[in-house]
């Protein structure tokens, strides 16, 4: 049984139909990447999964249970945590306060402290800036803080929306290495990326979205080698 199963998802914003019957499954332990052009529906798929928008049609099952209509904060409690595009950092709170908010669903003080230490080990830049206001961090540092904060909810499944967006090339490498490390610590990841090259490199499997529908799906290495993907998404002729 997959950890997440999305079946025939239809989502519209008013008259704009963003998804027309998207189906995908994420197996426990894997990194699945969702790639596609601007406007293909990647962000909308994540929003439909995490309860930020309500599907018109379709089912979403997490850990064997239907989660359509379950509010996002309850999903966090169950282990499904979404790091949205734009990151959702509270600029007027300190880095430390932002981080602490990630553990809002938990009361196990010792466990929280251990997870906090583990997250800060992954993100030493965040650790150096704990007392700073989060709004003073660079874009890359805010991204790291957003992921570190998500880890404090102890996710089973992490939905990451464009973690590499707007980062300096060196930081892009770092973020992907960290994503792999988080996965190797046992967190299943659904990764939305514009950077298809890096995403296919880090992921086990991939789904290609085109105008709100699944165009291709398969092992990431196979898609990375396919002529169609190379031409359309990897910039190879
Ligand atoms: P991007 O990489 O640009 O975020 P995406 O693949 O994530 O692209 P979505 O953001 O999911 O795509 O958008 C899918 C479609 O839904 C697009 O046609 C977009 O214009 C439309 N859309 C997205 N958000 C809204 C909204 N809040 N109101 C109206 N239309 C929207």
Ligand 1 site, residue 164, Cβ cutoff 6 A: no
**Size of the chain, expressed as the number of residues it contains:** 237
Ligand 1 site, residue 48, Cβ cutoff 6 A: no
Ligand 1 site, residue 47, Cβ cutoff 6 A: no
Give the pair of three-digit tokens for residue 204. 């086990």
Contact 68, 56 (CB under 8 A): no
Contact 100, 176 (CB under 8 A): no
Q: How far apart are CA 95 and CA 4, in angstroms?
A: 31
Q: How far apart are CA 70 and CA 103, in angstroms?
A: 19
- The pLDDT of residue 157 is above 60: yes
* Residue 236 pLDDT level (bands cut at 50, 70, 90): low
Ligand 1, atom 20, residue with closest C-alpha: 39
CA of 186 to the centre of ligand 1 (A): 31
**pTM, full prediction:** 0.95
Judged on CB neighbours under 10 Å (0-12, 13-18, 19+), 9 is buried
Ligand 1 site, residue 95, Cβ cutoff 6 A: no
Contact 82, 161 (CB under 8 A): yes
DSSP string, 129-195: TTTSBGGGS-HHHHHHHHHHHHHTT--SEEEEE-TTTT--HHHHHHHHHHHHHHHHTT-EEEEEES-
Ligand 1 site, residue 195, Cβ cutoff 6 A: no
* Residue 214 pLDDT level (bands cut at 50, 70, 90): very high
Residue of 9, 19, 35, 40 to test ligand 1 pocket, by largest number of atoms within 8 Å of CB: 40
CA-based nearest residue to 63, from 106, 23, 113, 28: 28
Tens digits of residue pLDDT in 54-86: 999 999 999 999 999 999 889 999 999 999 987
* Residue 105 pLDDT level (bands cut at 50, 70, 90): confident
User: What mean pLDDT comes out for the span 213-237?
Assistant: 88
Query: Given the DSSP bridges, would you call strands 157-161 and 80-83 parallel, antiparallel or unpaired?
Result: parallel
Q: Which residues of 52-83 are buried (b: 16+ CB within 10 A; e: fewer)?
A: ebebeebebbbbeeebeebeeeebbebbbbbb
CA-based nearest residue to 186, from 211, 151, 212, 142: 151
- Contacts of residue 82, defined as CB under 8 A and 6 or more positions apart, other chains included, come to 46, 47, 49, 50, 52, 72, 75, 150, 159, 161
- The pLDDT of residue 237 is above 60: no
Angle at 141 between CA 118 and CA 160, to 5 degrees: 70
Residue of 14, 20, 22, 44 to test ligand 1 pocket, by largest number of atoms within 8 Å of CB: 44
Ligand 1 atom with the smallest distance to the CA of 14 is 29
CA of 97 to the centre of ligand 1 (A): 31
CA of 115 to the centre of ligand 1 (A): 34
Give the pair of three-digit tokens for residue 116. 């906090």
Neighbours of 230 (CB within 10 A): 16
Ligand 1, atom 25, residue with closest C-alpha: 13
CA of 212 to the centre of ligand 1 (A): 9
Order of strands across the sheet that contains 205-210:
80-83, 157-161, 188-193, 31-35, 205-210, 213-219
- The pLDDT of residue 19 is above 80: yes
Ligand 1 atom with the smallest distance to the CA of 16 is 30
Tens digits of residue pLDDT in 168-178: 888 899 999 99
């Amino acid at each position: 049984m997959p950890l997440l199963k999305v079946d025939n998802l239809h989502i519209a914003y008013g008259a704009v139909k963003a998804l027309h019957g998207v189906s995908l499954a994420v197996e426990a332990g894997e990194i699945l990447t969702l790639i596609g052009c601007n406007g293909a529906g990647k962000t909308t798929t994540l929003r439909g999964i995490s309860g930020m928008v309500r599907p018109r049609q379709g089912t979403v099952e997490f850990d064997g249970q239907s989660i359509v209509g379950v509010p996002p904060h309850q999903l966090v409690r169950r282990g499904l945590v979404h790091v949205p595009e734009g990151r959702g950092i509270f600029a007027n709170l300190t880095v430390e306060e932002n981080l602490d908010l990630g553990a809002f669903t938990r009361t196990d003080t010792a466990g929280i402290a251990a997870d906090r230490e583990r997250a800060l080990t992954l993100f030493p830049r965040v650790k150096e800036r704990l007392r700073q206001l989060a709004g003073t961090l660079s874009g890359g540092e805010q991204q790291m803080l957003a992921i570190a904060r998500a880890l404090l909810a102890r996710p089973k499944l992490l939905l990451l929306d464009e973690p590499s967006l707007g980062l300096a090339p060196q930081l892009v490498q770092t973020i992907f290495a960290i994503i792999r490390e988080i996965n190797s610590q046992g967190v299943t990841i659904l990764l939305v990326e514009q950077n298809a090259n890096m995403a296919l490199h880090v992921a086990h499997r991939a789904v290609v979205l085109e105008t709100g529908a699944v165009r291709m799906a398969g092992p990431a290495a196979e898609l990375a080698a396919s002529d169609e993907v190379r031409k359309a998404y990897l910039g190879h002729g």
